[in-house]
Amino acid sequence: MSEVRDLLIEIGTEELPPKALLRLSTAFTEAMQANLEQAGLGFASVHAFASPRRLALLVRELQTHQADKDIERRGPALQAAFDDQGNPSKAALGFANSCGVEVSALDKLETDKGSWLVYRARESGAATSTLIPAMVNDALNKLPIPKRMRWADLDAQFVRPVHWIVLLFGDDVIDDTILSVQSNRETRGHRFLHNKSIYIPAPAEYEVLLESEGKVIADFARRRETIRGQVEQAAHQLNGVAVIDKDLLDEVTSMVEWPVAVIGNFEQRFLQVPQEALISTMSANQKYFHVLDKQGKLLAHFITISNIESRDPDKVREGNERVIRPRFADAEFFWNQDRKQALASRLEQLKSVVFQKQLGTLYDKTQRVARLAETIAMQIDGDKLQALRAAELCKCDLMTAMVGEFPELQGVMGRYYAQHDGEPGDVARAIDEHYMPRFAGDQLPQTKTGQAVAIADRLDTLLGIIAVGQLPTGDKDPYALRRAALGVLRCMVEHDLALDLMPLLSTAAEHFPKDVKAKKAIDATIDFILERLRVYYTSQDIKLDVFESVFSQRPTQPNDFNARVLAVNAFRQLVEAESLSAANKRISNILKKTDEAIPATVDEGLLESTAEKALAKQVQELSEQVAPLIADRNYTEILHQLAALRSNVDSFFDDVMVMVDNQALRQNRLALLSRLRNLFLQVADISQLQGTG
């Protein structure tokens, strides 16, 4: 068995991009692990380290050599390898030469299919130390770096300049040059707290030495939890609760190597500004964590994570307070200035902002959205006048100074300004809600007015952009149509809104400019929207064939589509499902192959065998039983009742020949099968189910 050693790889750099650090670390780890596995090198584990100045890996118990392996290469057939005198042919000589041996050193391979020349040898495994540099270079070249940079006068290119490389295999340094830097066994500590080289005796001592001597917590996950704990403890000191956003926590973790929480304060007067504006500048601009009281209101404090242990923490605190104060003063100024002008008065300004060249301005869009929102509100028992008003105002805050400075507050500031102007509560709330859901997993609009405007706004965008021929391609989706479609679906499905895409889009199409062929784009828009359900259900662990069985029927009412999917998903668990799915496939194939007219009804006088009489009777009875269930959309009960067909369907196909010569009998049996299949098609095409039961 091969000897094993630990391997340490460290790429020491200038500060890496915070938002990319975790992605780079994951990609480097996965690529190196794949390279080791491809080389046939066994190991116990791979542990990644990532901090602003380093990407590192510790591979435990890595084999020191590849295993020896037997090689067998088949050459030309014997009859082509030698002439009549037994002299080797050009084919034999060429094969031997390619193997690096004489023809006499080749063996013969005898099989029942013939005889061939064959080269056999045992190849010694390479030393792992000779393979690692190429693996590291390969992994680094595969990192997701959009734009690589050069530094000094070196040929190397990387995301940031590289200053040191550690390649330590057991006690030995793997001597090589990576990214124009000579490898060694010395890492470096914290840039300010221990900016010195640290000798690493063995790979396993790397993490401990970096922390104890170098003041660097190299493990990303442990550093992140250290930060989380410090922030929570600091908030506790303030009698508040820290709001720790996952993305912000990851970004801050990527910015520091030795985290130290610092509490900062700001003037109480700034709390008169909407807290979302203050929170936005704290988190987005300064990377601070904000603190709420027990009622969820913002406290006049923040928590920042310093990258040093300062001898004078008050100076660190004062510096951060000094930086945040002018930003808050700007937000305060914008807030006061914006309220001097009513939100509704900004509607005219939208005429100067182009939404899309062929679709007009934002003003044109809001007018279309308003008409459609009014229609939707009436259909979901909402207030059509409030929906109309909210839609007219929904984009007005884009013209305010606050949203100009903080674009992420669009909708939120509209709500505040509408409340200040005395607009109805639901109108103000809908201005904010119409952007919901803003991202995957986000909350949905809760008011009927918000739902109406949210759906109308997205449908207008979807139909308009598709009508002008700008469907998303690949990863490019400049108008976020995929997200818009999913937002429409989530609103309709999760709020169980009885809205049909076809009439809604037909209504929307009437309000586009005449040169925009919106009506012709309705079908394409519906297909685009419904296709997003494929991902929606996959995320809920509903199998793709369930979606396909319903999608094939193309119900254009999303909450109805959802009811069918849930019913089919329950049906496919029944013991009868597999047999009935197979029978539906068979029926579908039979009906597709016939080009003769199939009667609309079954003639009982033409039923001959017991099996077809029994099936015809059951089909008739079930047709009557499920009719009221269709109206109630009780698809689960419908499929449960139709499952009772299994026995008679099986007997029918065992005992009855459908495609007989007698035309009357044949057409009658086709009519029976057609009626049977249509029972299921009222819900879904279950012939598309795979691996049921």
Q: Tens of pLDDT along 489-529?
A: 999 999 999 999 999 999 999 999 999 999 999 999 999 99
Classify residue 561: in a domain, yes or no.
no
Residue-level pLDDT at 2: 67
* pLDDT above 80 (res 409): yes
Task: Clarify whether residues 39 and 100 are in a common domain.
Answer: no
Query: Half-sphere exposure of 594 toward its Cβ, with a 13 Å CA cutoff?
Result: 20
Q: What is the CATH number of the domain that holds 200?
A: 3.30.70.260
Phi, psi dihedrals of residue 59, rounded to the nearest 5°: -100, 115
Task: Clarify whether residues 487 and 528 are in a common domain.
Answer: yes
CA distances in angstroms from 34 to 37, 144, 228, 536, listed in the order given: 5, 16, 32, 31
Q: What is the CATH number of the domain that holds 654?
A: 1.10.730.10
Residue 84 structural domain = 69-123
- Tokens representing 314 are 């008050």
- Tokens representing 598 are 């199939």
Q: Are the CB atoms for 667 and 599 separated by under 8 Å?
A: yes
Classify residue 560: in a domain, yes or no.
no
Task: Clarify whether residues 143 and 264 are in a common domain.
Answer: no
Residue-level pLDDT at 84: 78
Task: Clarify whether residues 581 and 513 are in a common domain.
Answer: no
Task: Clarify whether residues 412 and 514 are in a common domain.
Answer: yes
* pLDDT above 90 (res 194): yes
Q: Tens of pLDDT along 432-476?
A: 999 999 998 899 999 999 999 999 999 999 999 999 999 998 888
Task: Clarify whether residues 160 and 257 are in a common domain.
Answer: no
Task: Clarify whether residues 61 and 110 are in a common domain.
Answer: no
Long-range contacts of 680-683 (CB under 8 A, 24+ apart): 680/580, 680/584, 680/639, 680/642, 681/553, 682/626, 682/630, 682/638, 683/550, 683/553, 683/564, 683/567, 683/568, 683/635, 683/638, 683/639
Classify residue 567: in a domain, yes or no.
no
Residue 18, C-beta contacts closer than 8 angstroms, at least 6 positions apart: 52, 251, 252, 254, 255
How far from the centroid of its chain's Cα atoms is residue 257's Cα?
A: 30
Residue-level pLDDT at 77: 87
Q: Tens of pLDDT along 44-67?
A: 999 999 999 999 999 999 999 988
pLDDT classification of 101: cutoffs 50, 70, 90: confident
Classify residue 563: in a domain, yes or no.
no
Helices 481-494, 558-571: crossing angle, 10 deg rounding: 70
Residue-level pLDDT at 138: 96
Residue-level pLDDT at 474: 81
Q: Examine the fold and report which residue of 296, 320, 338 is the final residue of a domain before the chain moves on.
A: 338
Q: Tens of pLDDT along 649-664?
A: 889 888 888 888 888 8
How far from the centroid of its chain's Cα atoms is residue 393's Cα?
A: 32
Classify residue 693: in a domain, yes or no.
no
Classify residue 288: in a domain, yes or no.
yes
Rounded mean pLDDT, 562-569: 95
Q: Examine the fold and report which residue of 158, 181, 212 is the final residue of a domain before the chain moves on.
A: 212
- Tokens representing 634 are 């009780």
Task: Clarify whether residues 608 and 667 are in a common domain.
Answer: yes
Give me the number of domains the chain comprises: 5
Q: Examine the fold and report which residue of 541, 562, 587 is the final residue of a domain before the chain moves on.
A: 541
* pLDDT above 90 (res 297): yes
Closest among 218, 216, 128, 137 to 172, alpha carbons compared? 128
Task: Clarify whether residues 312 and 173 are in a common domain.
Answer: no
pLDDT classification of 81: cutoffs 50, 70, 90: confident
* pLDDT above 80 (res 692): no
Residue-level pLDDT at 109: 85
Task: Clarify whether residues 354 and 458 are in a common domain.
Answer: yes
pLDDT classification of 15: cutoffs 50, 70, 90: very high
Output the CA torsion 199→205→210→211 (10° steps).
Answer: -140
pLDDT classification of 156: cutoffs 50, 70, 90: very high
Q: Helix, strand, or coil here: 176?
A: coil
pLDDT classification of 107: cutoffs 50, 70, 90: confident
Q: Tens of pLDDT along 223-278?
A: 999 999 999 999 999 999 999 999 999 999 999 999 999 999 999 999 999 999 99
pLDDT > 70: percent of the chain: 99
Of 385 and 112, the structure prediction assigns the larger pLDDT to 385
Task: Clarify whether residues 385 and 527 are in a common domain.
Answer: yes
Task: Clarify whether residues 311 and 449 are in a common domain.
Answer: no
Classify residue 550: in a domain, yes or no.
no
Classify residue 406: in a domain, yes or no.
yes
